[in-house]
Amino acid sequence: NAGVTQTPKFQVLKTGQSMTLQCAQDMNHEYMSWYRQDPGMGLRLIHYSVGAGITDQGEVPNGYNVSRSTTEDFPLRLLSAAPSQTSVYFCASRAGTKGSGQYFGPGTRLTVT
Amino acid sequence: GQQLNQSPQSMFIQEGEDVSMNCTSSSIFNTWLWYKQDPGEGPVLLIALYKAGELTSNGRLTAQFGTTRKDSFLNISASIPSDVGIYFCAGHSFGNEKLTFGTGTRLTIIP
């Protein structure tokens, strides 16, 4: 199994541009989520999904959209990039059992100029 | 929302020393998780705790689920260079799909 994969690894955007961060998992996990990690602030939840067709907002959802058309994929869309969205983005997945440990992808480092 | 206080924020130790860190919550959790993150990588799950008072080991790592369900502890014995990284605690409560993460403890080994 590849686990959780993310692309791209690095990305530079200009303010106002849009883009999609890709996330895929091959473990048949029901639950997937997106976090952003900023220095000194730990991991903050952006959006999450408990299964295909179901998504919900996390702690910091503004400026981001998600969709979950398949179990495997959970892309994160930046609608109009802002410098405040400069961060490292992690996708994670876990089995349906609540409380089970999440598995994280390698991250996407995004810079918005 | 729920908050996790993780301490210490950073530790500077010599190889071979034991390490202790902890997390405290403003509310009860039903699951405590400990992760380690290496530079440029995503967090990796080290230990999961599911029951108050539970003590679980993973090699030189030992974690405990506090009896009040509002805290958890991680100990590393006889530290080695590959222990360097950032350690995060995370908590989960029933009825809530979300994990709450601590702000991390950065471990550095002084030569």
In this complex, which of B30, B41, B99 lies closest to A102 when CB atoms are compared? B99
B18-33: pLDDT as tens digits: 999 999 998 899 999 9
Question: Quick one: pLDDT at residue A98?
Answer: 58
Best mutation target among A102, A103, A108, A109 (most B Cβ atoms within 10 Å) is: A102
In this complex, which of B41, B42, B48 lies closest to A101 when CB atoms are compared? B48
Measuring CA to CA, which residue among B20, B30, B25 is closest to residue B52?
Answer: B30
In this complex, which of A4, A40, A50 lies closest to B97 when CB atoms are compared? A50
User: Please, which residues bridge with residue A65 across strands?
Assistant: A77
- Cα separation, B87 vs B61, in Å, equals 12
User: Cβ of A103 and B30 within 8 Å?
Assistant: no
Q: What is the pairing mode between strands A64-66 and A76-78?
A: antiparallel
Residue B26 — φ and ψ, nearest 5°?
-80, -10
Question: Quick one: pLDDT at residue B40?
Answer: 86
- Cα separation, A33 vs B6, in Å, equals 22
* Coil, helix or strand at residue B83: helix
Give the H or E element holding residue B104: none
User: Cβ of A101 and B33 within 8 Å?
Assistant: yes
**What is the CA A31 to chain-centroid distance, rounded?**
12
Q: Report the sign of the C-alpha dihedral through residues A100, A101, A106, A107, in that order.
A: positive
Six token digits for residue A91: 């996708």
Average pLDDT over residues A17-37: 95
In sequence order, which residues have a C-beta less than 8 Å from that of residue A48 and are 6 or more positions away?
Answer: A31, A32, A33, A34, A55, A56, A58, B97, B98
The residue behind tokens 């924020």 is B9
User: Cβ of A107 and B40 within 8 Å?
Assistant: yes
User: Chain A: nearest CA to B40, how far in angstroms?
Assistant: 7
User: Chain A: nearest CA to B24, how far in angstroms?
Assistant: 15
* Coil, helix or strand at residue B111: coil
- Cα separation, B87 vs B16, in Å, equals 18
Residue A102, chain B, CB below 8 Å: the answer is: yes
Q: How confident is the model at residue B2 (pLDDT cuts 50, 70, 90)?
A: low
B44-99: pLDDT as tens digits: 999 999 999 999 999 999 999 999 999 999 999 999 999 999 999 999 887 777 78
Question: Quick one: pLDDT at residue A46?
Answer: 95
Size of interface A-B (CB pairs under 8 A): 58
**If contacts are CB pairs under 8 Å, which of residues 6-45 in chain A contact chain B?**
31, 33, 35, 40-45
In this complex, which of B30, B45, B97 lies closest to A103 when CB atoms are compared? B45
Task: Kindly tell me the number of DSSP H helices and DSSP E strands found in chain A.
Answer: 0, 11
- Cα separation, A46 vs A56, in Å, equals 9
* Coil, helix or strand at residue B81: helix
Residue B40, chain A, CB below 8 Å: the answer is: yes
